[in-house]
Amino acid sequence: MKITKKARILLGLGVSLVSAVVLAAVIDWREFVALLARVNYWYLIPATCCIVASYYCRALQWRYVLGGVRRLPVYPLFRITMLGFLANTLLPARLGEVVRAYILARKQRLSKGTAFGSVIVTRLLDGAILFLILGGFAILIPAKIAGFKAGGTTGFIIYAAIVSFFVLFYFKRETATSIVKFVFGPFSKRLAVKIVRSLDKFIHGFSCFRSPADLGKAFLYSCAIWLLVALSYYFVNLGFEFTSSLPLYAPFLLVAIVSLAISIPSSPGFIGTMELGVLAALHIIEPALTRNEGLSYAIVVHVVQVLPAVGIGLFYLWTEHLTIAELVKPEEIQTEAAYTEKGVGYE
């Protein structure tokens, strides 16, 4: 394991530990327990079903991303997706994306470059939807959160530029390579060459761009994923007295902010960062909510989103006769992790 990877894991653990300590220090435990006792837990059933359905949509999205290479059945992709999210929940450094790509390459006999490229494409599509949501809020949401609107607009522009560069690299490699050398060359020619080589290694994952129909379907399934996650937040809102009357845009703002929050390095399971993301979103939507109310809501949201990944993931781990340590070979994870980028949210 490289030093930089160790540092990232330690940073993540530190962020989660500090977040958990801060949250534990400010909470009134008696009121917290009382708030949880008043939750209508029946609403968590449809909320959980929405999360499971979003995972299935991820498998469908992945199928169309891989369409230019091979048309794979949905169920094996769903199984691999759940193993990946299990790894994201139980392993440090967001290794779930690495696990997904590695198992896909191993089980379906695809090249590692194609497998890792396909995972990155799915995350780019997911990120595009999230920043479309933020861009939409920059236009539509109330003026009282103008600062957030400015941040959403900036993030949307930056992400659009990144996606545009990937598309340019796929269609016009020489032009994109010249841009990389122009930007990074004055600082480090070696870095510029390394970036181009890294892009080459997973560019086969962009094969869906050869088929506008497959790209369109993958994009629509990405929309469905985040719509289902937002619907899950809506059902959780109904389960709490103090969130049942939140505006209809609240679930979408929660999706966007929490997804960005959990992209920060943290411990396995996004402990602390998810709660802070929920609290930040609720403060923007309804500043009158207390810390105890926000944290009780955040804990329930965390359980609803993580429990299906763990339960279904462990089931597939058992049916595949695997252990957590056997999901991928440690030495190969260390090598292949260099080809992945941080994901944009976890549901």
Q: Which helix (H) or strand (E) holds 105?
A: helix 96-108
In this predicted model, what pLDDT tens digit does every residue of 22-44 receive, in sequence order?
666 667 778 878 988 999 999 99
Question: With bands split at pLDDT 50, 70 and 90, how would you rate the model's confidence at 237?
Answer: very high
Coil, strand or helix at 307: helix
Q: Residue 45 is which amino acid?
A: I
Of the given ranges (4-8, 123-127, 159-163, 196-200), which has the lowest mean pLDDT? 4-8
Specify the higher pLDDT residue, 91 or 48.
48
- The residue-averaged pLDDT of 115-136 equals 81
Q: What is the mean pLDDT of residues 122-145?
A: 72
- This prediction has a pTM of 0.80
**Residue labelled with tokens 């399971």:** 269
- pLDDT confidence of residue 209: 56
- Angstrom CA distances, 235 to 10, 17, 45, 291, stand at 35, 29, 9, 21
CB-based contacts of 232: which residues, under 8 Å, 6+ apart? 47, 48, 50, 51, 54, 251, 304, 305, 347
- φ/ψ of 187, rounded to 5, equals -90, -45
pLDDT above 50 for 346: no
Q: Which two tokens stand for residue 68?
A: 């230019």
Confidence category of residue 89, pLDDT binned at 50, 70, 90:
confident
List, for residues 135-172, the tens digit of each pLDDT value: 666 666 655 555 555 655 666 677 677 777 777 777 77
- Residue 229 corresponds to which tokens in the numbers above? 């996650």
What three-state secondary structure class fits 290?
coil
**Cα–Cα dist 21/258, whole Å:** 19
Q: Greater confidence, 264 or 178?
A: 178
pLDDT for position 75: 93
Q: What pLDDT was estimated at residue 229?
A: 96
